[in-house]
Amino acid sequence: MEFALSEEQEILSDSVKKMLSENIDIDLLRNHSKGDEGIRENIREIVVEMGLPGILISEEYGGSGLGILEASLIAEEFGRYAVPTPWIGNSVMAPTALAFKKGNNLAEKWLPLIASGEITACVALTEAVGKRSNTGLELNNSKVSGTSIFAIDGELNPRIIITAVDQELILIDTENTGVTICEIPTIDSTRPVVEIIFDSVDIEIIPGGEKAIQKTINVGRVLLAADILGASSNMIEKAVEYSLERKQFNRVIGSFQAVKHMCAEMAADLEPCRSLLWYAAYAQDNIDEEADLLSCHAKAHLSEIGQDVARVSTQVFGGMGFTDLLGMHYWFKRIGLSRQILGGPEKVRQEAAKIQGFLS
């Protein structure tokens, strides 16, 4: 048996990579970080034209009906190019939550709108992973109040917000009064996160309860791991490319043994992560009993390896690696934020230990 991508999956990955390479470069990322807000919407329009928001949504609702593995291939390319537009929350986590129980009214209402790109969905599940003392949500008479922070994909006026309260997955229509969304400044300018304040806002409960919450978090972690993989791959490629151009003592620095070892060790550490990620993504759709654990392993391990790759690849550039001229910091910071969203490696490993019975 061949454990590799199918021809269709390779075509999907290549087509997304080609699209991104033609539309995103370092100058675009630099202009975006300086406040050109139109770039987010422009890239989103291209993503919608390719049908990517509907990648997980079934054909009956206007999507492609593909799986988490295919979504992870796209996420890897989004990480490789540091794409500054909604993706993981809107196109993966929200459809996963809405489709957890087949045939519910909320899926019928909202999934076609997400697939077509008519609306975006924001996902706010940070409190379900690790609640801060000054945040959190409360339900009272089918209304939600409180604050949720580090919500994903809320930067482009989302129409719906999916969050969790008291082991229930809930949906909020932002056209209801009492919803305030504010962007939170972070180190990563390519993928903003937001704070959402709810003031006695009407909610609708998404069927599935605690299992639906965990499933949504699982796929989010796998997709963040894929994003880290893509960003790390890009940093290694750029470091190797630079090492074959930069000269010292009339020799390219890539001929020095120390630099060779740095690049080789990064590649050797990162490449095994690909098979781990593919298996974790496959498990989300096909191996329910392993899905929780593998999502933890993929997120924790890629977070650690990605951090090391970001550090070492920047060192290959020397002092130039820290300048805006080369722009390596966009991927360095993206990896840093991805490492923490939906649980840092320490938190995620603790969950993995509980799943395996090592902790009570």
Segment 40-56 shows an average pLDDT of 94
pLDDT recorded at residue 38? 87
The CATH homologous superfamily to which domain 217-355 belongs is Butyryl-CoA Dehydrogenase, subunit A, domain 3 (1.20.140.10)
pLDDT recorded at residue 133? 67
pLDDT digits (tens, 9 = 90+) for 73-91: 999 999 999 999 999 999 9
Q: Whole-angstrom Cα distance, residue 162 to residue 240?
A: 41
Q: Which residues, at least 6 apart from 300, have a Cβ–Cβ distance to it below 8 Å?
A: 345, 348, 349, 352
pLDDT recorded at residue 127? 84
* Nearest alpha carbon to residue 292 among 223, 352, 237, 236: 352
Q: In the structure, how many helices (H) and strands (E) does the chain have? A: 12, 10
Is CATH 1.10.8.60 the classification given to domain 121-210? Answer: no
pLDDT digits (tens, 9 = 90+) for 99-120: 999 888 999 999 999 999 999 9
pLDDT digits (tens, 9 = 90+) for 191-203: 989 999 999 999 9
Contact 148, 163 (CB under 8 A): yes
Q: Whole-angstrom Cα distance, residue 340 to residue 224?
A: 10
pLDDT recorded at residue 174? 95
Domain ranges in the chain with CATH number 1.10.540.10: 7-116
Model confidence at 64: pLDDT above 90 = yes
Model confidence at 256: pLDDT above 80 = yes
Segment 277-285 shows an average pLDDT of 97
Model confidence at 1: pLDDT above 70 = no
Q: Whole-angstrom Cα distance, residue 223 to residue 215?
A: 12
Q: What is the pTM of this model?
A: 0.96
Domain ranges in the chain with CATH number 2.40.110.10: 121-210
Segment 6-16 shows an average pLDDT of 95
pLDDT recorded at residue 310? 96
Model confidence at 204: pLDDT above 60 = yes
pLDDT digits (tens, 9 = 90+) for 337-358: 999 999 999 999 999 999 999 9
Model confidence at 8: pLDDT above 60 = yes
Model confidence at 2: pLDDT above 70 = no
Q: How many CA atoms lie within 13 A of 73 on its CB side?
A: 22
pLDDT digits (tens, 9 = 90+) for 157-187: 999 999 999 889 999 999 999 999 999 989 9
pLDDT recorded at residue 144? 93
Domain ranges in the chain with CATH number 1.20.140.10: 217-355
Q: Whole-angstrom Cα distance, residue 105 to residue 283?
A: 27
* Nearest alpha carbon to residue 91 among 108, 109, 68, 59: 68
The CATH homologous superfamily to which domain 7-116 belongs is Acyl-CoA dehydrogenase/oxidase, N-terminal domain (1.10.540.10)
